[in-house]
Structure 1
């Protein structure tokens, strides 16, 4: 069985004159990433590896998760293919993952993550929000063979706020 955690970056700030890759998180994005990661930690599977887009907003979100989950940074990597908005590069990336990895989390962007959550999961999601997490399980042992899985968990900030 393979497990994939899709995590969209937190809310980014447009208050700075920065390139898209260099846009930082807003305070809300930081707070939401903490909220989602601490909630996810309660039922989180043991992750073998975490990959992040090189965009600052995705990288910062992933570091909040790494810290809150006490994850070993030696099993973390930045990958340029995850700086993708269509989902094509992310899909190819996932299909090429090392089959020794059972559970992988990836941090990236929309529209890619909503599209892939709907392609791979069994629950329709209109939009994976910023700092939204979708956990999908697949009944195969080969990443290249994943297709339709089971949406095991969705953790969205708006569901956690009162």
Structure 2
């Protein structure tokens, strides 16, 4: 079995005159990522490997998860092909993952992640919100055989805040 965890970057700030890839997180984005990372750790084990888009907002979100997981930045791999908004590049990336990784976590972007969740999961989602996380399970032994799987769980900041 293979498991894929998709984490959309936290809420980014538009108040700086920077390129899209350089946009930082807002304070809310940092807080939401901390909430989601803590909840994930309550529900599941650490992934075998973590990959991240090079965008500042994705990497900053990833670093918050690493802190929660007590992992160093050396444990992640930044991949340019994850700076993708349509999903085709991310799907291609997933299908080419080494089969030694059974559980992979990827930090990236919408619309790619909502699209992938709906193509490969069995629970339709309207939108994966910022700092949202979705785990998909697949009855496959090779990532190259990626096909429809099951949606194990979804964690959103809004759901966590409504439980307080």
TM-score normalised by the chain length of structure 1: 0.97
What is aligned with 2:157?
157
RMSD of aligned alpha carbons: 0.9
Q: Point out where structure 2 has 5 or more consecutive residues left out of the alignment.
A: none
Whether contact under 8 Å (1:48, 1:75) holds in the other structure is no
Deviation at 1:72, TM superposition (A): 4.8
What is aligned with 1:107?
107
Q: Point out where structure 1 has 5 or more consecutive residues left out of the alignment.
A: none
Q: Give CA-to-partner distance per residue, 1:79-136, whole Å, 9 cap, x none.
A: 0000000000000000000000010000000000000000010000000000000000
**Structure 1 Cα separation of the partners of residues 34 and 26 of structure 2:** 13
2:126 counterpart of 1:98: no
Whether contact under 8 Å (2:63, 2:73) holds in the other structure is no
Q: Give CA-to-partner distance per residue, 1:43-76, whole Å, 9 cap, x none.
A: 1223110000000000000010011012354431
What is aligned with 1:122?
122
Deviation at 1:146, TM superposition (A): 1.3
Whether contact under 8 Å (1:48, 1:101) holds in the other structure is yes
Whether contact under 8 Å (1:99, 1:141) holds in the other structure is yes
Q: Give CA-to-partner distance per residue, 1:121-157, whole Å, 9 cap, x none.
A: 0000000000000000101010010111110010000
What is aligned with 1:148?
148
The within-5 A match list for 1:1-162 is 1-162=1-162
**Structure 1 Cα separation of the partners of residues 125 and 46 of structure 2:** 25
**Structure 2 Cα separation of the partners of residues 39 and 45 of structure 1:** 11
